[in-house]
Structure 1
Amino acid sequence: MKMRFDFNNPNIASRKYHQNKIGFAKKCIAALFAAMLCTAALFPQTRDDPDTNLPEIDGDFFEAETIDPALQHNFTIIVPVHEYDLNPHTASYSSESQILSSLYEGLFSYDPVTLEPKNALAVHYRISRSKKRWTFTLRKNAKFSDGSPITAQGVCDAWLDLLAEPRAPYSSMLDIIEGAAAYRIGKGKRDAVGIRALSDTTLVVELASPAGYLPRVLCHSAFVVCKKDTNVSSGAFFLQRNANEEMILIKNNNYWDAEHTHIERIAIVQSDNADENAFLFNTGSADWIAGNVTVQKLLDKDSVQINAEFATEYLFFKCRKKSVWNNPDLRAALLEAVPWNELRSQAFVKAPTLVYPINGYPQVEGFAYTDPDEGASLMNDAKKKAGIPQDKRLPLVIAIPDTEYMKKQAKILSGAWKALGIDVEVQTSPINRYLESIPSWNADLFSYTWIGDFADPLAFLELFRSASTLNVARWKNAEYDKLLGEAALYTGDERTKLLARAEQLLLDSGEVLPISHPVSLNVIDLETTGGWSSNAFDIHPFKYLYKKRKTAPLPNIVTR
């Protein structure tokens, strides 16, 4: 999470870090739009069964052929240059989550194709009639990489440690558990949190209110089982070395499903040299590029994998003390005058709303048209209502990453708002430090891109809940919080209607300016690599990967 570069626009800073590529993709727009139209179907509404067995995670999920052990010794992945935080409690980048999902495991894991929750450490769970008591049964053969058993108490300890970590970006997602929010903010006791182990393999979780989406949330790498010693892993691999911009992951033979984990050693190499990365892939020295690459120099264009992302690029107002832009009427006037078509001119898929379109989610009225005259009228009314003189020009600071794309976006807004009596000042930061600067930056408008961490509208709406650790905007609205709370009491249509009302309230307040829905691009030859599938989170668990021998494309050629 935190910073990344978007494929349709590599200059946007966001909460999810990876780097994507431009050029060849424009030849694939038709396929891209088809993928976008299909993405919503990946996300059916949450079931709320009282007694549930999810599909098992197993190595046969992708395997349709015999795997040759002789090919599985090494696998090389090229990723962007970045300071990787491999502590699951404090990590916040998507590139970190990709690695952490293979070093550690929680109760559930993402299905690598559909993104539905699949059993990981949990083999079974029951939900009480009140929908608030969840009882999980854990695997008896689950072990850490040091050979020690993974128990229900280990799950309790990991989650409680997460709640106690002040730097944990995702800890508020556990606020649905009884007593978790109070403990997280230092107003409750550890033993009052509704998480307890009844035995080594039985875990009970008491929720403050029903949350049928809980398994989806628990797929995320923040909620894995881990020890304080982060050298000990609970997943399919353990970290052997992390130095000189290279990480070496080794297969964890104590992992409960080691039999179906095929790759013995994974080298994760950091490089932003796009030409060199293309050369390494062409020569077989790299198996998968998830970072910069010169696509035009790739010999096999079929290795380029383009996919829709469950993500939204947007701008947001940061609420700070005594800021005139805390006034929703003033913000609404600005948004009325935004030239949306020009602002979204580089978007593959324009985003009039914040929440990515999900199957069954009600339509929300977003931002699609521009009316400068109405914007000026609304600004005059807002000033009068706020007691601001009509002739007073208002300052507005836009804080952006130091990229050409974001400078262009800021220029568009500055020009549109000048006629409304707004003097825009643009401040910049190096892109690699941009997001970390937001909390202390004395500015009004910021850039963000967010990839939802679970297939639910709440993955976006949680960003603006008052008490959320993900709420960098510091926006607070009691009615919005109430709607999210009420939505937790329902399932199906009733729930999504309440969530849609919350999003509508957020948009009507003028707090966010939605821009686009980004896409991802990876380079991997699926004829020589199995167990990899495109998906909307761009998360690909390493445990499924395996190498296979490529059939010679020409007759009379003998392969060895």
Structure 2
Amino acid sequence: MRHFNLVILMVVILSLVIWGIVSLDTTAKTVKLERAIIDQKILNFNLGSAPATLDPQLNKDLYGGSLINNMFEGLFRRVDHQIVPAIAKNYTLSADQLTYTFYLKPSNWSDGTPVTAHDFEYAWKRAIDPSLVSEYAYQLFFIEGAEDYYRDKTTKENVGINALDDYTLEVKLMAPTPYFIDLLTSFTYMPCKEDVVQDSNDGSWMTQPETAISNGPFKLRNYTTGDQIVLEKNQEYWDAENVHLDLINVYMINDSTTAMTAFESTELDIIDSVPIAEIPKLMTEAAEFYVEPSLATAYYLFNVSVKPLDDIRVRQALSIAVNRRQLVDTVTKAGEIPAVGITPPGLEDAMGDDFHQVAGNYLIDTERAEVERAKALLAEAGFDGGKGFPELEILYNTSETNELLAAAIQEMWQKTLNIKVKLVNQEFAVFQSSKRLKNFQIARGSWFGDFADPLAMLEIFTSNTPINTTGWKNEGFDLLIEKAKTATGQARYELLYKAQEILMTELPIMPLYYYSDVFMVSKKIIGFEKTAMGLWYFGKTDIIKLEN
């Protein structure tokens, strides 16, 4: 009986070690047991902040987006900076470029049931279901009937998304959309399983491992709100034999110094931000340090529905009183480019010209603050010398960069325009809620384009897009964006040039800089991917042993 009990005890202990629940004493038997956990490939990754949701159709941020990108698989995905087929085996496009027919490869959900075209139809129509109120629903408005369904003008049966059989999906577009395949890599277009979602509008189904059924290289093992998320290899993934990682421990440390300390002590393998003061040294000395270009812009949002920010002269004064060169040289320090518009460099028009360069600087001097012109504009608005100007509040989500940036702009405005500025920080989920409810005066903003086209950066400021929380509405801007969705050739880009000109004249936003993405990855980590859209992917990642 004693021998039997010992065997049971050893089985229990081995199970606990494999699941990472307990550690064992250093005995001969312990060393043998610990080898089971050592042989596992475990990535310790700091995401930087807690995601608001892991629901593909409800998510709107990069934190949730990166995890969704690893837990789900769409028709296509980005790998090695290329768009490659994922669940799609192949597709055809009609002569009028309006009808795509996708043929799916056999694949399974993490519960072992087949992924079908019906799952894609359900998920995409769910994204535009008016009862869900998805802030990313607009990404599907290129599809026939999608916007009408979202606005309760038609039924979902009239939307151009139809599963012809289990492995054939037909999609009809409103107009030729050359970047549609690009769009299909985004998290909003991921499939989901209707019987586990069960019309859940709060995303709670993705917080419990038993209901978080996914079809990507990883699935949910554990979800501890605001603390840690654990992903494990999905053995049902169609390409599981080429997935090397067994576990991903995801942390939400938003203090970059704390994260850096953990990285240096090898407790973390990847950190998504670094202490700003360390960047110059890291750029020249650290092989683990990466600086990557991004299709992204940092800016401040003005709530134009509150005084005095409803006055265009005030917004212009605040914008040109900021020394953008000083911000990137002394605050962010990672080679960012001072911003004059919402569209970053690297996007070409139909003539092959860089959209950013052709658009121009909209009278913004990127190298210095235009103090005298700013003072004159403020005086025209009735605040000569800053007299009578109410205290402004800058709202930002917790991070070292955001705090230093807000403090620098606070000092610039107080020193040059003689106005008082209060800084308020909130945790990310609360911050997102404050912006959505327009409970702010000035708020930190940033946008990573979801596809490589100026439209990806501009359309979020249309009056009917939930992403636009500035309160700004302009019918001319809206009309130009709508026309650009159906126009072709250089005529299409001319519409987008005009749209950005309106945006940068009325200034519901204040562009600050174009991102350079900085992060650190241990030398033992290979095959990782971070897209220009800011999403991590670990489906090809491996951990190697380094020579001493």
In the superposition, the TM-score normalised over structure 2's length comes to 0.76
> Structure 1 stretch 468-477 or stretch 102-111: which is displaced more?
468-477
Residue 536 of structure 1 deviates from its aligned partner by 2.6
In the other structure, the counterpart of 2:33 is none
Return closer, same or farther for 1:159/1:350 CA change in 2, 3 Å cut-off: same
Match of 1:124 in 2: 90
1:352 to 314, 324, 340: 340
Counterpart in the other structure of 1:547: 543
Q: Which residue of 2 aligns with 1:454?
A: 451
Cα distance change, pair 337–484 in 1 and its aligned pair in 2 (3 A): same
Distance in 2 (CA, whole Å) between partners of 1:100 and 1:469 is 21
Are the aligned partners of 1:72 and 1:547 in contact in 2 as well (CA < 8 Å)? no
Equivalence for 2:233: 251
Structure 1 residues 339, 541: closer, same or farther in 2, change over 3 A? Answer: closer
Partner in structure 1 of residue 114 of structure 2 = 149
From the superposition, tell whether residues 335 and 225 of structure 1 become closer, same or farther in structure 2 (CA, over 3 Å).
same
Distance in 2 between residues matched to 1:543 and 1:371, nearest whole Å = 48
CA distance in 1, matches of 2:52, 2:387: 47
Report SS of the residue matched to 2:504.
Answer: helix
Secondary structure of the corresponding residue to residue 126 of structure 1:
strand
Match of residue 405 from structure 2: 405
Paired residues of 2:385 and 2:417 also in contact (CA < 8 A)? no
Aligned mates of 1:390, 1:515 — CA distance in 2: 24
Partner of 1:261: 243
C-alpha deviation, 1:458, in angstroms: 1.8
Distance 1:295 1:343 in 2: 16
Bigger shift: residues 358-367 or 274-283: 274-283
Aligned-pair CA distance for 1:507 = 0.6
Structure 1 residue 355 displacement after superposition = 0.8
Separation of aligned partners in 2, 1:272 and 1:377: 40
- CA 1:406/1:213 → structure 2, altered by over 3 Å: closer, same or farther? same
Question: Which of 508-517 and 429-438 deviates more?
Answer: 429-438
Aligned length: 470
1:501 has 2:498 as partner: yes
Among residues 24, 47, 56, which one is paired with 1:88 in the alignment? Answer: 56
Compared CA separation, residues 205 and 326, structure 1 to 2 (3 A): farther
**Unaligned ranges ≥5, structure 1:** 1-68, 553-560
Mapped contact 1:271–1:292 kept (Cα < 8 A): no
State the SS of the aligned residue for 1:82: coil
Between 1:367-376 and 1:543-552, the stretch displaced more is 367-376
Deviations 1:411-468 (A, max 9, x none): 32244444xxxx6553624354333212435544332122222222122112201221
Q: 1:302: Cα distance to partner?
A: 1.4
Q: Give the counterpart letter for 2:525 in structure 1.
A: T
Match of 1:61 in 2: none
Q: Which residue of 2 aligns with 1:364?
A: 359
Partner of 1:110: 78
Q: Which residue, 138, 162, 168 being the options, matches 2:127? A: 162
Amino acid aligned to 1:219:
T
Say whether the 8 Å CA contact 1:71–1:548 is kept in structure 2.
Answer: no
Cα distance in 1, alignment partners of residues 71 and 458 from structure 2:
29
Whose RCO is larger (CA < 8 A, sep 6+)? 1
Greater per-residue helix proportion: 2
Corresponding letter in the other structure for 1:233: S
Whole-angstrom CA distance in 2 between matches of 1:280 and 1:522: 14
- Cα distance in 1, alignment partners of residues 140 and 427 from structure 2: 30
Aligned in 2, Cα 1:538/1:341: closer, same or farther, shift over 3 Å?
closer
> Displacement, 1:143?
1.3
Give distance in 1, aligned partners of 2:346 and 2:113. Answer: 41
The C-alpha deviation readout for 1:345-376, integer Å capped at 9, x for no partner, is 53532112221112423321221165455455
Amino acid aligned to 2:119: G
Partner of 2:217: 236
Aligned-partner residue type, residue 407 of structure 1: A
Residue of structure 2 equivalent to 1:465: 462
CA RMSD for the aligned pairs? 3.4
Percent identity between the aligned chains?
Answer: 24
Counterpart residue identity of residue 160, structure 2: G
1:232 CA drift (Å): 0.7
Q: Do the aligned partners of 2:395 and 2:443 also contact (CA within 8 Å) in 1?
A: yes
Q: State the alpha-carbon separation in 2 of the partners of residues 431 and 365 from structure 1.
A: 36
Q: Is the 8 A contact 1:152 1:199 kept in 2?
A: yes
Kept in 2, the 8 Å contact 1:457–1:499? The answer is yes
How far apart, in 2, do the equivalents of 1:371 and 1:380 lie? 14
Give distance in 2, aligned partners of 1:394 and 1:274.
Answer: 35
> 1:272 & 1:392 partners in 2: Cα distance?
38
Equivalence for 2:525: 529
Bigger Rg over Cα: 2
- Asked whether the 8 Å contact 1:88–1:222 carries over to 2, the reply is yes
Counterpart for residue 290 of structure 2: 305
Question: Does the 8 A contact of 1:398 with 1:410 survive in 2?
Answer: no
Once the two structures are superposed, residues 383-419 of structure 1 have per-residue CA deviations (whole angstroms, 9 ceiling, x without a partner) of 7xxxx9999955473432383531331332244444x
Separation in 2, partners of 1:332, 1:79: 35
Give the TM-score of the pair, scaled to structure 1.
Answer: 0.75
Query: CA shift at 1:522, angstroms?
Result: 2.2
